[in-house]
Structure 1
Amino acid sequence: MMVSADYIKEVILAGLPCDYIDVQGDDGTHFNAVIVSAEFSGRNRVQRHQLVYQALGDRMRAEIHALGMKTLSPEEWAQQQG
C-alpha cells in the first residue's frame, strides 16, 4: 500500500502535539520529516524518535519502509531559524 507524506503528517499530528511538522517523500515508502514538539524538550534523539514511532504505531512496520527524522524542541527550532 502506498502512503502519502500528508498521510504520515496527519498520523503523527494525531498522536503527538507538534509546533511544526513537515513531511517529504513521493515514492510512497521513503519519507523525511522535520518535527518540532515541546514533547522533545529534555529528551535525547532516541527518546524523541520513540515518541514519533509511538504516534505512527504499526504503520511504521506495515506501510512505511523508511522515515528519516529531524526532531527538535521549540527552543532548538527557534535557534535554527535564527
Structure 2
Amino acid sequence: MAITAADIERMIREAFPDARVEVQGDDGAHFAAMVEDPSFKDMNRVQQQRAVYGALKGKMDGPAGELHALALTTRAPE
C-alpha cells in the first residue's frame, strides 16, 4: 500500500506534537515536508533532520521502503 502525505504528517506529529508540519506530494513515493518545532532550538540542521527521519519509523529504509524520497526542511521557531 502506498504511503500518503497524511500518513507522513501523522507520524511526524506523533513524534513532534507541538510542531508546525506541512507535507506535500501525492504520487505515493515523493514528498516534501516542512517541520518547525521548538525542540530543534539547540540542534544543528543534521540533528533536526535525523530526528524527523527517526519519526518515520523505517519507512525510508532501503530500496523496499514505502517512502522513496522526502525533501525535508526543518527549523526551530524564531
TM-score by length of 1: 0.84
**Residue 72 of structure 2: aligned partner:** 69
**Runs of 5+ consecutive residues of structure 1 not aligned to the other structure:** 76-82
How many residue pairs get matched? 75
The question of whether the paired residues in 1 share the 8 Å contact of 2:2 and 2:66 is answered with: yes
Offset at residue 23 of structure 1 (A): 0.1
Residues 5-58 of structure 1: CA distance to partner in whole angstroms, max 9, x if unpaired?
Answer: 011000111122343100000100110001110111121111001100111121
SS in 2 for 1:48: helix
Question: Structure 1 stretches (4+) deviating beyond 6 angstroms?
Answer: none
In structure 2, what is the equivalent of residue 5 of structure 1?
A: 5
Which ranges in structure 2 are unaligned for 5 or more consecutive residues?
none
**1:35, 1:41 → 2: CA distance?**
12
Between structures 1 and 2, the one with greater helix share: 1
Whether the aligned pair in 1 keeps the contact of 2:29 and 2:66 (CA below 8 Å) is yes
Q: Once superposed, what is the RMSD of the aligned Cα atoms?
A: 1.1
2:17 maps to a residue whose letter is P
Q: TM-score, normalised by structure 2?
A: 0.88
For 1:17, the aligned partner's letter is P
Identity across matched positions, percent: 41
What is the match of residue 60 of structure 2? 60
